[in-house]
Structure 1
Amino acid sequence: MMEKAWWFLLIGTLLTFIALARGPIRRLPMTGAMIYIAVGFAIGPAGSGLVATDLASRPGLLAVLAEIGLVVSLFSIGMHLRVPLRNALWLLPLRLGIPAMLVTIALLTGFSLVATGASIGVALFLAAVLAPTDPVLANELRVEHAGDDEPVRFALSGEGGLNDGTAYPFALLGLALCGAHQAGISSGATFAGVAVWGIVSAIGSGWLLAIVFVKAVFVLRTRYGEAIGLDGFLALGLMSAAYGVAIFIHVFGFVAVFAAGVALRHEELRATGDKPPVEVLENMERGEKSDVAKDPERAHAYLAEAMMGFTLEMERIAELSLMLVTGCVVSAHWREMIAWSAVLPALFLFFIARPLSVWLVMAGSQADRQQRHLIGWMGIRGVGAFYYIAMGIDEAGEMLRPLLPMVLDAITLSVFLHGATAGVALKRYLRNR
């Protein structure tokens, strides 16, 4: 009973503190994720022992928790990207989300083979785990509102939405090379087929489902006055359905959820036009919400903004929960994490692989020198890496367990290094502009 009381007190205090201290936290070189992971460490085995067991002993559960957080975050990011698809700005996240990630995977695989002596399967899986940037922790770098077209924020947001899904086939290939038959990859041709089918069909299924969803809700609201309210249920319903359909047809669910978010926003953009949705809804009184939801001229904007607001709150809760869990796992494995063999992959990733891959793929793009420097440094790692390592250990067992300290080092160093510098660097960049 006392343990339950401590948990309620801890979560209540943490939530209240973050809400009240949000302003000072944003002004300081720190983030909420730093606080969450530190608290997680303090309550873990190396601290107070409130969580006395090693949570990594249940990798399947950890993978599911991280999976849920990623689904919410990817859908939210997609809904923020309110820029027409024909706009050349989309080329920036596409360059980062696919070719830059491929270069990063190649560099990390080579480094792991040479520096750690790992087998090709283990080295490739580690590279696939660490290559994607994180959509959950990059709040300071994300586009600030739907329609924000600042190139650096847009590029990093779109990259985070894309590469958690596009890294999946390489993780599967690494598992297959490690002997995990669940991976379903038996040859190079199978890998190519899985990758192409998984990405293209995921985009198509997520996009189609979102369009059907929006049109159905629009008709029900504007013609019949039905389906009004519970916009949070609608958001959860669409993202869950998009993810479920993707799994059912054996394509990449993370890509499908991101595509669903982008498609829903672009249905709103097509209906509303150049006028931002906040302007369309700016004169709405609280008591008018049901009338606005039924208004054909404002229904799309109301639906998109209501769903996006709900997913943002869900995303913050997911960040808190998953960083607390990560801190607890770090608390159980900190001794393994301080070995140079565990730290080196993260250092190589942050200071060599990430900057080099960005500079290579951004050659000839509209990003200037200062923007490339900033994007090259701000490759935040977090929940995506945590999901992949938990999934890998659940699938391949002891063969991949030695990678856990390396991944935890990458996440922890990213939370503190990038968290301490992201806001400062972005403010300096924007001030210079």
Structure 2
Amino acid sequence: MAFALWSVLIGLLLILLALGASVLARLPLSTAMLYLVVGLAVSPLGLAWSDFGPLTHTTLLERLTEVVVLVSLFSAGLKLGHGIGDRRWLLPLRLASVSMLVTVGCITFAGWALLGLPIGAAVLLGGVLAPTDPVLASDVQVHTPGDRDQLRFALTGEGGLNDGTAFPFVMLGLGLLGLHDLGAFGWRWFAIDLVWAVGAGIGIGAALGVATGRLVLYLRREHKEAVGLDDFVALGLIALAYGVALLLHAYGFLAVFAAGVALRNLVQRQSGSAEASRRAVEQAAAVPDRRVADTMAVDPQHAPAYMAHAVLSFNEQLERIGEVAVVVTIGALLWAVPWEHASWWFVPLLLVVIRQLSVAAGLAGSGTARTRRVLIGWFGIRGIGSLYYLMYAVNHGLPTELADRLVALALSTVVASVLVHGVSVTPLMAAYERRAAARQ
């Protein structure tokens, strides 16, 4: 009976969202806000269909959030249709490095000096809450690979990169708590957890993305084979890049993002006219004729754009399903959060003060317009990635007392981010786009 009720609820939710998507796009609401309400409704605060808490099914929560973040990172990489040499990459690289360091440092200080956390737990809190979320930030990300908007490109690239660059600080925090080997004077953390894991993650993902793309395109162009099942190509590349990176002690999140970027970059290089080819493929995809699709898939000129379009379309659908599952789960967890450990002044400190300070430091001297810089600072959305890092730390032996405090701080930040950013994203982005159109 319980399974039947869950089936009815999920079916109604998905159908209602499909029917009302165009209406929601015009309202100051996000789908994540609705998912949170549904999660609360099925918790003991409502229908009591679910009664698990944030520390009772930590392995399941870690794996669920891990998979959803991986799918979202690969999609983000596929959307970034500019080569690595393009100057647009300077902004996300600055945000994922300088801004990340400033954010972790400020959160660490606040956690140690103002919240009374041990230094290791304060660093861990910084690693958990510093990365912006690639899943819940879809409304402010690049919509298509041809989107040349600097704001959207910066936020998409930052969300893809900093989910990996936050990992060294999570490991440092665990090490300072005695839960991870840092080596004498921190040499192992610096050499392995920072330099090797970051560099190897990017290299492994880029190499596998290029190799897989070249193989598929070769078989299609030269032999008219390997046509169809592009969803398997997407899932296979995500799993392959992530698995190889983990086996070599590199960061899998960075590997998956780099694989998406490399695949898109390969498509750009191998398409004679990338933008014209992309438009031709999108027009063909709108026609439900399998023969047209198969012809486009093996066409020497359009095969790269067709592959990228098919893979990205499948990934975006999978990402939306994953978002539903995780955000409903977050809502269902809220009844059991030890809210007495939440310091609500910490949320605006992070989302407004620390975020704007870190963005200002990261973009100093970049020539970024003030309006764009303020919007980048505001849309530092926290979400599913933070929940993953938190569950990762708990499953690596984080003491229960510290886990309770960090759960309360992290989930209060995530819920507040879902609400305030969900309300503000539609009017702010609409005003930004009107202003951009007027300038053009």
Query: TM-score normalized by structure 1?
Result: 0.96
1:420 aligned partner, one-letter code: V
Deviation at 1:354, TM superposition (A): 0.3
Aligned residue in 2 for 1:427:
430
- Structure 1 residues 82 and 224, CA, compared in 2 at 3 Å: closer, same or farther? same
> In 1, are the aligned partners of 2:74 and 2:257 still within 8 Å (CA)?
yes
Moved more, 184-193 or 166-175: 184-193
Instruction: Give unpaired runs (5+ residues) of structure 2.
Output: none
Moved more, 388-397 or 371-380: 388-397
Aligned residue in 1 for 2:357:
356
1:387 aligned partner, one-letter code: Y
CA distance in structure 2 between the aligned counterparts of 1:369 and 1:319, rounded to whole angstroms: 32
1:291 aligned partner, one-letter code: T
Cα-to-partner distance string for 1:199-248 (whole Å, 9 max, x where unaligned): 11111110111111011111111222221111101100001100001001
Moved more, 299-308 or 53-62: 53-62
1:373 aligned partner, one-letter code: V
SS state of the match for residue 365, structure 1?
coil
Aligned residue in 2 for 1:404:
407
Query: TM-score normalized by structure 2?
Result: 0.94
Deviation at 1:53, TM superposition (A): 2.6
> In 2, are the aligned partners of 1:108 and 1:349 still within 8 Å (CA)?
yes
Aligned residue in 1 for 2:219:
220
CA distance in structure 2 between the aligned counterparts of 1:328 and 1:235, rounded to whole angstroms: 30
- Structure 1 residues 376 and 106, CA, compared in 2 at 3 Å: closer, same or farther? same
Cα-to-partner distance string for 1:328-351 (whole Å, 9 max, x where unaligned): 111222xx33x4843232221012
2:321 aligned partner, one-letter code: I
CA distance in structure 2 between the aligned counterparts of 1:319 and 1:186, rounded to whole angstroms: 41
- List aligned pairs for 1:341-380, cutoff 5 A: 341-380=342-381
> In 2, are the aligned partners of 1:40 and 1:331 still within 8 Å (CA)?
no
Cα-to-partner distance string for 1:164-217 (whole Å, 9 max, x where unaligned): 100001001101111213x66554222211211111111111011111101111
Aligned residue in 1 for 2:207:
208
Deviation at 1:46, TM superposition (A): 2.0
Deviation at 1:282, TM superposition (A): 4.7
Deviation at 1:274, TM superposition (A): 4.5
Aligned residue in 2 for 1:281:
281
> In 2, are the aligned partners of 1:232 and 1:307 still within 8 Å (CA)?
yes
Cα RMSD after superposing both structures:
1.4
Pairing 1:42–2:41 present: yes
2:109 aligned partner, one-letter code: G
CA distance in structure 1 between the aligned counterparts of 2:232 and 2:135, rounded to whole angstroms: 21
> In 2, are the aligned partners of 1:122 and 1:400 still within 8 Å (CA)?
no
SS state of the match for residue 274, structure 2?
coil
Aligned residue in 2 for 1:191:
189
Aligned residue in 1 for 2:307:
303
Deviation at 1:430, TM superposition (A): 1.6
- Structure 1 residues 50 and 283, CA, compared in 2 at 3 Å: closer, same or farther? closer
CA distance in structure 2 between the aligned counterparts of 1:341 and 1:294, rounded to whole angstroms: 56
Pairing 1:84–2:72 present: no
Aligned residue in 1 for 2:244:
245
Pairing 1:418–2:421 present: yes
Aligned residue in 2 for 1:326:
330
1:192 aligned partner, one-letter code: F
CA distance in structure 1 between the aligned counterparts of 2:272 and 2:140, rounded to whole angstroms: 26
SS state of the match for residue 251, structure 1?
coil
CA distance in structure 1 between the aligned counterparts of 2:99 and 2:41, rounded to whole angstroms: 36
CA distance in structure 2 between the aligned counterparts of 1:126 and 1:61, rounded to whole angstroms: 21
Aligned residue in 2 for 1:140:
139
Cα-to-partner distance string for 1:303-334 (whole Å, 9 max, x where unaligned): 0100000000000001000001111111222x
2:163 aligned partner, one-letter code: D
Moved more, 29-38 or 360-369: 360-369
- Structure 1 residues 76 and 186, CA, compared in 2 at 3 Å: closer, same or farther? farther
CA distance in structure 2 between the aligned counterparts of 1:120 and 1:186, rounded to whole angstroms: 18
Moved more, 274-283 or 55-64: 274-283
Deviation at 1:290, TM superposition (A): 1.2
Deviation at 1:273, TM superposition (A): 4.5
Instruction: Give unpaired runs (5+ residues) of structure 1.
Output: none
SS state of the match for residue 127, structure 1?
helix
> In 1, are the aligned partners of 2:341 and 2:404 still within 8 Å (CA)?
no
Moved more, 134-143 or 420-429: 420-429
1:413 aligned partner, one-letter code: A
CA distance in structure 2 between the aligned counterparts of 1:343 and 1:273, rounded to whole angstroms: 54
Deviation at 1:412, TM superposition (A): 0.1
Match of 1:291 among 280, 292, 295: 295
CA distance in structure 2 between the aligned counterparts of 1:47 and 1:184, rounded to whole angstroms: 45
1:30 aligned partner, one-letter code: L
- Structure 1 residues 342 and 45, CA, compared in 2 at 3 Å: closer, same or farther? farther
Identity %: 39
CA distance in structure 2 between the aligned counterparts of 1:306 and 1:184, rounded to whole angstroms: 43
Deviation at 1:283, TM superposition (A): 5.0
Aligned residue in 2 for 1:395:
396
